[in-house]
Amino acid sequence: MRITLTPAAPFRLDLTALALRRDAANVVDRWRPPTYRRVFAPDGAAFEVVVQQHAPTEEPRLTVDVLGPEGVYPTQQVAALLSAVLGLDLDLGAFYAAAANDDPLAELARRFAGLRPPLLPTVFEALVSGVACQQLSLAVGMRLLARLAAAYGAEHEGHHAFPRPEDLSSAEPQHLRAMGFSLRKSETILHLAGAATEGRLDLESLRGVDTGTAVANLMDLPGIGRWTAHYVALRGLGRLEVFPVDDVGAQNKLQDVLGLKQRPGSEETRRIVDRWGAYQGFLYFHLLLDGLERRGMFDPVEPSI
């Protein structure tokens, strides 16, 4: 099955997929130019999407091939799912207008024009991803998540979806420990999965509350501190007004971009990013891409389409 999507301009699939993937160790969100691929299994039956961009940044058009059993997921729902994950329907005009008058942000916005703030498909995935990456490098955290997906995620032709809470019902802490998770992280992930499966925890309901309440509710969960709550608010709930101020990597990138003499701490980071208000979380994604570019992981020049 093939569907066509028309994002609001500007849009670049490559930049958005890279911000979603974060690191080459991510085997769930796969980017191999010019194609983004991912296996989904929202109802347990796996299907894969293959997304390509066929028109330039200012006139974007995407084709999506859906691979899997016929009718496993309705076309309209696939379109809605990808629109959310890739931020296709977001109106970022106010961001670009503000960025034009802000020297450090103007350069980032120009270089990465077409980036959209990506969204992980479920709050559960964002939460587990945040827990996995606590106090670790991004590459190590991504390798842990890759092992978790391979062991428990629904499979389609050798690739795996991210596990749902119920997919982890048979897992024991020692199983996750064998993958490299600490005992505390193993217990946290399985507690959250069990609570969600049994109906004691409704993570998706956080989409319907204000950001402050969502962050507070997340921090009430065992094993979830401010960094993880901010991470989930941004990557799982799409709250662009949230910048993970405790993120050391983001602090380092702010130091580089702004030419600061030293890395800002959490409170100084908060004071710095507050100037970008409702779009400070979008700045976070720009800083992520800047870091990937500095590491030589991609060329920001728009590919020929």
User: Would you list the domain boundaries of the chain?
Assistant: 2-90, 123-235
Determine the average pLDDT of the residues in 18-44: 96
Tell me the C-alpha distance between 117 and 17, whole Å: 10
Whether 298 and 18 have beta carbons less than 8 Å apart is answered as yes
pLDDT reading at 304 higher than 70: no
Q: 123-235, which class in CATH?
A: mainly alpha
pLDDT band at 72 (very low <50, low <70, confident <90, very high): confident
Please state, in angstroms and as integers, the Cα–Cα distance from residue 17 to each residue in 107, 121, 156, 157, 218, following that order. 21, 14, 20, 21, 26
Which CATH superfamily groups domain 2-90?
A: DNA-3-methyladenine glycosylase AlkA, N-terminal domain (3.30.310.20)
DSSP at 295: T
Helix (H, G, I), strand (E, B) or coil at 227: helix
- Give the torsion through C-alpha atoms of 158, 163, 164, 166, to 10 deg: 90
Residue of 76 and 300 predicted with greater confidence: 76
pLDDT band at 70 (very low <50, low <70, confident <90, very high): confident
Question: Sign of torsion, CA 165 51 56 31?
Answer: positive
Looking at residue 305, what is its pLDDT?
63
Beta bridge partners of 3: 64
Tell me the C-alpha distance between 244 and 250, whole Å: 8
Mean pLDDT for all residues in the chain = 95
Provide the token pair at 305.
Answer: 């389409």
pLDDT band at 66 (very low <50, low <70, confident <90, very high): very high
Tell me the C-alpha distance between 240 and 221, whole Å: 22
pTM of this structure: 0.95
Q: How many CB atoms lie within 10 A of CB 62?
A: 21
Question: Sign of torsion, CA 5 8 9 15?
Answer: negative
- Which residues are designated catalytic? 247
The yes-or-no answer to whether 2-90 and 123-235 have a common fold is: no
Determine the average pLDDT of the residues in 259-273: 96
Determine the average pLDDT of the residues in 142-154: 98
Question: Sign of torsion, CA 171 173 175 177?
Answer: positive
In this predicted model, what pLDDT tens digit does every residue of 269-293 receive, in sequence order? 999 999 999 999 999 999 999 999 9
